[in-house]
Structure 1
Amino acid sequence: ELALKRAHASIVLCSTFLSCFPGYFSVLAVVLRTSNNSPWTNEFDKIELSCLIDSISTTNPRIEWKKITNDGPSYVYFDKKISGDLENRAVIREPATLLITNATRSDTAKYRCEVTAIDDQKSFDEIVIDLVVRVKPVVPKCSVPKSVPFGKSAELNCVEEEGFPKSQYQWFKNREEIPDDPKTSLKFFNSSYMLNVETGTLKFSAVRREDAGEYFCRAKNDAGYAECPPQTMEVYDIDVVGIILGVLVVVIVLLCISVGICCAYKRDIKTCSFSKHRQHTLTINPVFLSKPIIH
Structure 2
Amino acid sequence: MDAPSLCFSIVLLLLQCAALLSVTVTSNRHKVEVKENSEAVLSCLYKTERDQNPRIEWKKRGRDVSFVYFDGQFRGPFEGRATIEGATVTLHGVTQDDAGEYRCEISAPLDSVSLGETNVTLKVLVPPHTPSCEIPTSAVTGSVVRLRCHDHQSIPPATYSWFKDSQPISSPRHSNDSYVLNSYTGVLEFKSVSKEDSGRYSCLASNGIGTPKMCEAKNMTIEDVNVTAVVVAVLVIGLIVAICSCGGVLLHRNGFFSRHRGRSNVNYIPPPQEDFKHTQSFML
CA distance in 1 between counterparts of 2:195 and 2:96 reads: 45
Q: Which moved more, 1:223-232 or 1:111-120?
A: 223-232
Select 1:82's aligned residue among 62, 74, 80. Answer: 74
Aligned counterpart, 1:232: 219
CA distance in 2 between counterparts of 1:56 and 1:209 reads: 80
Q: Which has the higher helix share?
A: 1
Q: Using the TM superposition, give the Cα deviation of residue 193 of structure 1 relative to its aligned residue in structure 2, in angstroms.
A: 2.2
CA distance in 2 between counterparts of 1:248 and 1:170 reads: 42
Are the counterparts in 2 of residues 33 and 54 from structure 1 also a CA contact under 8 Å?
Answer: no
Q: Using the TM superposition, give the Cα deviation of residue 151 of structure 1 relative to its aligned residue in structure 2, in angstroms.
A: 1.4
CA distance in 2 between counterparts of 1:41 and 1:248 reads: 64
Q: Using the TM superposition, give the Cα deviation of residue 198 of structure 1 relative to its aligned residue in structure 2, in angstroms.
A: 4.0
Aligned counterpart, 1:277: none
CA distance in 2 between counterparts of 1:207 and 1:29 reads: 72
- Letter matched to residue 211 of structure 1: D
CA distance in 2 between counterparts of 1:190 and 1:173 reads: 20
Q: Please state if 1:99 is matched with 2:86.
A: no
Aligned counterpart, 2:278: none
Q: Please state if 1:58 is matched with 2:51.
A: yes
Q: How does 1:147-166 map to 2 (within 5 A)?
A: 147-166=138-157
Aligned counterpart, 1:144: 135
Query: What secondary structure sits across from 1:85 in the alignment?
Result: helix
Q: Using the TM superposition, give the Cα deviation of residue 8 of structure 1 relative to its aligned residue in structure 2, in angstroms.
A: 6.2
Aligned counterpart, 1:290: none
Aligned counterpart, 1:183: 173
Q: Please state if 1:123 is matched with 2:114.
A: yes
Are the counterparts in 1 of residues 18 and 112 from structure 2 also a CA contact under 8 Å?
Answer: no
CA distance in 2 between counterparts of 1:87 and 1:68 reads: 17
Q: Using the TM superposition, give the Cα deviation of residue 177 of structure 1 relative to its aligned residue in structure 2, in angstroms.
A: 3.2
Are the counterparts in 2 of residues 143 and 157 from structure 1 also a CA contact under 8 Å?
Answer: yes
Q: Using the TM superposition, give the Cα deviation of residue 36 of structure 1 relative to its aligned residue in structure 2, in angstroms.
A: 1.2
CA distance in 1 between counterparts of 2:90 and 2:7 reads: 49
Identity of aligned residues (%): 33
TM-score, with length taken from structure 2: 0.73
CA distance in 1 between counterparts of 2:147 and 2:230 reads: 31
Query: What secondary structure sits across from 2:196 in the alignment?
Result: helix
Give 5+ residue unaligned stretches, structure 1.
270-295
Q: Using the TM superposition, give the Cα deviation of residue 82 of structure 1 relative to its aligned residue in structure 2, in angstroms.
A: 1.2
Query: What secondary structure sits across from 1:210 in the alignment?
Result: helix
RMSD: 3.4
- Letter matched to residue 72 of structure 2: K
Aligned counterpart, 2:178: 192
Are the counterparts in 1 of residues 145 and 191 from structure 2 also a CA contact under 8 Å?
Answer: yes
CA distance in 2 between counterparts of 1:73 and 1:217 reads: 41
Give 5+ residue unaligned stretches, structure 2.
255-284
CA distance in 2 between counterparts of 1:156 and 1:12 reads: 74
Q: Using the TM superposition, give the Cα deviation of residue 211 of structure 1 relative to its aligned residue in structure 2, in angstroms.
A: 1.9
CA distance in 2 between counterparts of 1:244 and 1:102 reads: 61
Q: Using the TM superposition, give the Cα deviation of residue 48 of structure 1 relative to its aligned residue in structure 2, in angstroms.
A: 0.3
- Letter matched to residue 58 of structure 2: W
For 1:104-123, what per-residue CA distance to the aligned partner results, in whole angstroms no more than 9, with x for missing partners? 11001110000011121111
Q: Using the TM superposition, give the Cα deviation of residue 11 of structure 1 relative to its aligned residue in structure 2, in angstroms.
A: 7.9
Q: Using the TM superposition, give the Cα deviation of residue 43 of structure 1 relative to its aligned residue in structure 2, in angstroms.
A: 1.0
Select 1:215's aligned residue among 194, 201, 204. Answer: 201
Q: Which moved more, 1:189-198 or 1:105-114?
A: 189-198
